[in-house]
Amino acid sequence: MKSDISKPSQDLVIIFVVLIISFIIFGYYDVLELIVELSSKYEDYEIDEIFSTMIVFTFCMLIFSMRRLKEVNDSRKKILEINKQLEEAVNEIKTLQGIIPICSYCHSIRDDEGAWSQLESYLSKNSEAMFSHGICPKCMTKALADADLSDDT
């Protein structure tokens, strides 16, 4: 099942919700005042530096997430475009497969319904092949010989 929201978008929504909840909690308990108080009381632990570093880290992760979301969306668009091209290519391909029953005398071909049709007609209908007719030297000699015989009678 395909979701309407991509995974990176869901991550950003979760981050946003967590930020809103943390804002409400931090506002209710005056967390910044508690941090200032703790950092003054326990200056040796460098709590204020850790807190500042966490804020910078959060912004960096937000920027990274937004860039990653853009990359994923660009990749998704490319994949959809390539899939469309592949589907169009598959739709254009006509292939003949399996055993094709052909008359050894007149070279007509029997289709799946049992009807007989000329070789050219069958191949044109079931493939992208087109035909141009000519006559080979061997048949030309035979045709001329047959024409000479018909003139004598």
Residue 131 phi/psi, 5-degree rounding, is -120, 145
User: Which two structure tokens, joined as six digits, stand for 35?
Assistant: 């941090």
At 75 the pLDDT is 94
> 130: helix, coil or strand?
coil
Give residue 3's pLDDT band: very low, low, confident or very high (50, 70, 90): low
At 2 the pLDDT is 52
Give residue 96's pLDDT band: very low, low, confident or very high (50, 70, 90): low
Alpha-carbon distance of 22 to 19, in angstroms, equals: 5
Of 27-36, 51-60, 82-91, 108-117, the least confident: 27-36
Give residue 1's pLDDT band: very low, low, confident or very high (50, 70, 90): very low
> What pTM, to 2 d.p., does this model score?
0.41
- Asked if 32 and 26 count as a contact pair (C-beta separation under 8 A), the reply is yes
Does residue 21 register a pLDDT over 50?
yes
Q: What is the mean pLDDT of residues 114-118?
A: 89
Alpha-carbon distance of 131 to 122, in angstroms, equals: 11
- Asked if 43 and 113 count as a contact pair (C-beta separation under 8 A), the reply is no
Provide the b/e sequence for 47-83 (b: ≥16 CB within 10 Å). Answer: beeeeeeeeeeeeeeeeeeeeebeeeeeeeeeeeeee
pLDDT digits (tens, 9 = 90+) for 42-56: 777 777 778 778 888
At 44 the pLDDT is 76
